[in-house]
Chain A
Amino acid sequence: MKHRFALAPALLTLVVPAFAAEKTFTIVGERLEYRNLATVESETEYEAFTGKTTKVSGTVKFDPAKRSGAATLLIDVASVNTGIPARDEHMRGAQWMDAGQYPNIKLETKSVKHAGGDNYNVTGLLTMRGVTREVKFKATVRYRAASELNKANGFDGDVLQVKGKFDVKLSDYGVKIPAPAANKVANVVTLGISAYAVAK
């Protein structure tokens, strides 16, 4: 009998994660911001380039037991670096991303369906230059419960690694590529996000 009671706390620790409720994770910022990465890839017959920024923010709701959740992510437009300062300046301009008026690209999930392992099928709403359109893509979400290893890696609490990639048609969002740049910037670009989020 004594043994049964002794087993109870151990059983409880096994059962609790299975009923763990949805947690709200915050995308890491400040000193850990460099660990996030948002990319935009453009490829034409003449030129291919990748713009990148670490300025990703937002929240992810995730239930590790049910493998369900939702997310709202923001990407800072003005900080996107393509490797050529003059091109970055053009991209921030009113004709392109209009960073002055629309400082962020926003991705809000509508539905997240578990597709086995760490994979998810996501339907979301992408808002860019004030235009909102639906996007569908595959994402991976990896979860690590709070541990000493998390702490050793600078994360204070549970950690999520979120990754996703999808195509965006710039003309759908009001971007009119000027004729001289038509061979240099693609109308369909690939937006990628890799971010870490923490819940205490």
Chain B
Amino acid sequence: MPLRSNRLFLAGVVLGSLGAIALIASVPIMQTYEGKAKLAQRVEKDDAGALFDEPYRNIGSPQLYVIDDPKAFLPTPEGGDPTIALLSDDYLKANNLYPTQLQSIRTIVNYGRIAAAGVFIMGDILMILALMRRRQAGSTA
């Protein structure tokens, strides 16, 4: 009986630690992505745009993107909003890059945090169960 409760306790410690590590690690991971994220407008080349002085056309609205390749960003045109970078959809397509949004990463990290919290709680429950068994075994002995 003590051997079983020891194993249960050990499993609880392992699960609880893993859950806690994952929860703590999620903070710098998210901070890293938030630091990399850039507010950008996805655009594609409009080869007829010369007629109307518009070399690019917008795809959707500006979003926070996490793109590591600096070549994916186009220079801000004269008079353009310097706070919104231009993200070349043509470059992304040519290089098979998916325009990852910070919002999507946040969602994945949040799901990960929920799972980690679940693992952490499960570990705690196992440890409590092991301690209860030990007590029971102690009182019957």
Contacts and interface: CB of A to CB of B under 8 A. Distances in A.
B51 A46 contact: no
Contacts of B59: 37, 39, 50, 52
Contact of A153 (B44, B51, B98): B51
Interface residues of B, number: 20
A41 B107 contact: no
Contacts, number: 53
A189 to B, nearest CB: 11
Contacts of B101: 47-48
A39 B60 contact: yes
Contacts of B57: 37, 194
A46 B105 CA distance: 9
A52 B44 CA distance: 12
A47 B57 CA distance: 23
A58 B47 CA distance: 21
B51 A150 contact: yes
Nearest to B104: A47
A176 to B, nearest CB: 23
B38 interface: no
Interface residues of A, number: 25
Secondary structure of the B side of the interface? mixed
A144 interface: yes
A25 interface: no
Contacts of A48: 60, 63, 101, 103-104
B107 A46 contact: yes
Contacts of B48: 32, 35, 153-155, 159, 161, 196
B23 to A, nearest CB: 20
A83 to B, nearest CB: 7
A190 interface: yes
Interface of A: 32, 35, 37, 39, 41, 43, 46-48, 50, 52, 83, 142, 144, 149-150, 153-155, 159, 161, 190, 192, 194, 196
6 contacts: A47-B104, A47-B107, A50-B59, A50-B60, A149-B50, A149-B51
Interface of B: 42, 44, 46-48, 50-52, 57-61, 63, 98-99, 101, 103-104, 107
Given A43-B61, A153-B51, A190-B61, 5 more contacts: A35-B46, A48-B63, A48-B101, A50-B42, A50-B60
